Copies of this chain bind each other. A is one copy, B any other.
Amino acid sequence: MTEVVERKATNVHWHDGEVTRGDRAAMLGHKGVTMWFTGLSGSGKSTVAVAVEKALTARGVLTYRLDGDNIRLGINSNLGFSAEDRQENIRRVGEISKLFADTGVVVLSSFISPYAEDRAMVRKVHEEGDLPFMEVFVDCSLEAAESRDPKGLYKKARAGEIRGFTGIDDPYEAPVNAELHLRTDEMTLEQEVDAVIKSLQERGIIV
């Protein structure tokens, strides 16, 4: 019985000193943030995210990318492409991004995320957790995205082999209050990366 009492007292002591978000930021030398890259398929989201990841890593900033590759094949493998499942896909990614931002990671989440309501939900989740959230509109014309067509998806959508494809027979609701607007058909990749880094510095996320 004495053991239990002593243990309890010890618990209280340890719990008092729980590690905080600020402790992790101090260790890492930067804060965590969710950078949410939204845009048409082929707009250049992954390209920018990969380049930003490299630039940040070179600066010693812990960065991680979330995208269809590691989400759709993993945690969201039980979701399809119905309207309901698409919303749940974005909701889960938003919640995971929040955990990463809380850890102190600069998380780069690249998802078409065509609906303003879904993106607003993700923003709200971060605001409620007092965590930085930056919406990055990766913008290029439908014509430019379709001419790139890196995965051959526009061709399939035009041929009617894919239905509900964003930009073809499903709308893309462009952000109106994005923290950053990258015009990938007008800017070079280097300019885009510089713009992202600068925006992180201005917000005090990184030095």
- Taken together, the copies of this chain in the complex come to 2
For residue A142, CB closer than 8 A to chain B, the reply is no
Count of chain A residues with a beta carbon within 8 Å of a chain B beta carbon: 48
Which one of A58-66, A156-164, A171-179, A198-206 contacts B?
A58-66
Chain A 185-200, CB-CB to B under 8 Å as 1, else 0, gives 1001100000000000
Flag if A19 contacts B99 (CB, 8 Å).
Answer: no
Chain B residues whose CB sits within 8 angstroms of the CB of A92 once the complex forms: 75, 92
Least CB distance from A74 to B in Å reads 5
Chain B residues whose CB sits within 8 angstroms of the CB of A123 once the complex forms: none
- Per the bound structure, the CA–CA distance linking A54 and B185 in Å amounts to 48
Least CB distance from A80 to B in Å reads 15
Flag if B63 contacts A62 (CB, 8 Å).
Answer: no
Query: CB < 8 Å: which of B10, B19, B62 contacts A24?
Result: B62
- Per the bound structure, the CA–CA distance linking A15 and B78 in Å amounts to 29
Chain A: residues with CB nearer than 8 A to chain B? 3-4, 7, 10-11, 14-15, 17-19, 23-24, 27-28, 47, 50-51, 53-54, 57, 60, 62-64, 66, 70, 74-75, 78, 88, 91-92, 95-96, 98-100, 102-105, 125, 144, 147-148, 185, 188-189
- Per the bound structure, the CA–CA distance linking A73 and B185 in Å amounts to 41
Least CB distance from A3 to B in Å reads 8
Flag if A62 contacts B23 (CB, 8 Å).
Answer: no
Residues A23 and B57 in contact in the complex (CB < 8 Å), given A15-B50, A28-B62, A62-B103: yes
